[in-house]
Amino acid sequence: MSVRSNVQSQILEAFNFRHATKIFDPDKKISDSEFETILEAGRLSPTSFGHEPFKVLVIQSPEMREHFRDFAWGANGMMNGSAGQLGTASHFGIILASTAETMTAGSDYLQHHYRSVKQLPDDVIDLFNGAYGKFQSTDHRVTSDREITDWSGKQAYIVLANMMTAAALMGIDSCPIEGFDMGLTTKVLSDHFDVDTAKWKPAVMFAFGHRADDPQFPKTRRSMAETVSWF
Ligand SMILES: Cc1cc2nc3c(=O)[nH]c(=O)nc-3n(C[C@H](O)[C@H](O)[C@H](O)COP(=O)(O)O)c2cc1C
């Protein structure tokens, strides 16, 4: 088998291996170096305009995880009576999305980001301010706090997808989780995690670890013909 076809089969094997794991084996932890690789896959993800409008909270303390128990129904085993992903995942967390306060064109946060992170010269910063301002006001009409936070959330989902694929390539299981009450999660983040929720809102939760059992259901998907149109 050529190197290239070998990589293709490894990729497909990883995508078929990955499933939304409901219960992890609590005794099988991911190593620090494996989780660092997963985080690095997230950090290196593409984001629109390179704005990186996300942050990752990793929540390892069982007590801190319990703050979400009553309303993170997608992570708490409500449907199968187990401790769910919250209670069993080796690594659990939340990706936060930037709100309008940080991600509105011209914001102080973005000027700092262009200068300090992207290391852009002033004339290019002017171009970014203009192009992003037009993108928000005209092209995509993303102007309200909700719209801007949702736009940031889209970037957060790309981050999580890359983290899950990186994990799957290492034989590590995962679950993306949006089964939670947004308002109550925001309040917990503000009350217990020192998150400035005027600037950051929850986008999606995640769990990583090793499955306790084989998937309950076989993987089903629409056919390629139903999914893709060629022109
Ligand atoms: C954005 C997103 C949110 C999801 N939220 C949850 C969740 O809260 N709890 C859960 O157990 N699964 C959740 N899932 C998993 C999906 O139900 C699962 O990916 C889908 O049924 C396909 O199954 P598979 O991933 O095992 O192939 C979520 C998936 C995505 C992409």
Residue 22 Cβ inside 6 Å of ligand 1? The answer reads yes
Q: Is 179 in the pocket of ligand 1 (CB under 6 A)?
A: yes
Whether 228 is covered by a domain: the verdict is: no
Domain closes at, from 82, 117, 142: 142
163-190 residue pLDDT tens: 999 999 999 999 999 999 999 999 999 9
Instruction: Mark whether 52 and 132 lie in a shared domain.
Output: no
In a domain, 14, yes or no: no
| 3 pLDDT higher than 80 | no
Q: Which CATH number characterizes residue 87's domain?
A: 3.40.109.10
CA distance 179 to 198: 22
Kindly report the pTM of this predicted structure: 0.96
- Do 155 and 80 share a domain, yes or no? yes
For the chain, the average pLDDT equals: 96
Does residue 209 share a domain with residue 110? no
The pLDDT tens digits for 72-129 are: 999 997 666 679 999 999 999 999 999 999 999 999 999 999 999 999 999 999 999 9
Q: Do residue 190 and residue 95 come from a single domain?
A: yes
3-state secondary structure 11-42: HHHHHHHCCECCCECCCCCCCHHHHHHHHHHH
Structure tokens given for 75: 């992570």
Residue 220 lies in a domain: no
Residues 157 and 52 in one domain: yes
Q: Are 212 and 25 in contact (CB under 8 A)?
A: yes
Q: What is the pLDDT of residue 79?
A: 65
Query: In the predicted model, is pLDDT for residue 47 greater than 70?
Result: yes
Q: Which of 12-16, 45-49, 75-79 has the lowest mean pLDDT?
A: 75-79
Domain containing 67 equals 21-101+149-213
**Is residue 223 a part of any domain in this protein?**
no
pLDDT of 1:
63
Q: Is the CB of 158 under 6 A from ligand 1?
A: no
Residues 164 and 53 in one domain: yes
Domain identity same for 164 and 55? yes
Q: Is the CB of 86 under 6 A from ligand 1?
A: no
Looking at the fold, whether 44 and 113 belong to one and the same domain comes out as: no
Q: Is residue 196 part of a domain?
A: yes
Q: Is residue 219 part of a domain?
A: no
**Residue 161 pLDDT > 80, yes or no?**
yes
Q: Answer yes or no: is the C-beta of 175 below 6 A from any ligand 1 atom.
A: yes
Q: How many domains is the chain partitioned into structurally?
A: 2
Could you tell which of 16, 175, 182, 216 is best to mutate to test the pocket of ligand 1, judged by most ligand atoms within 8 Å of the CB?
175
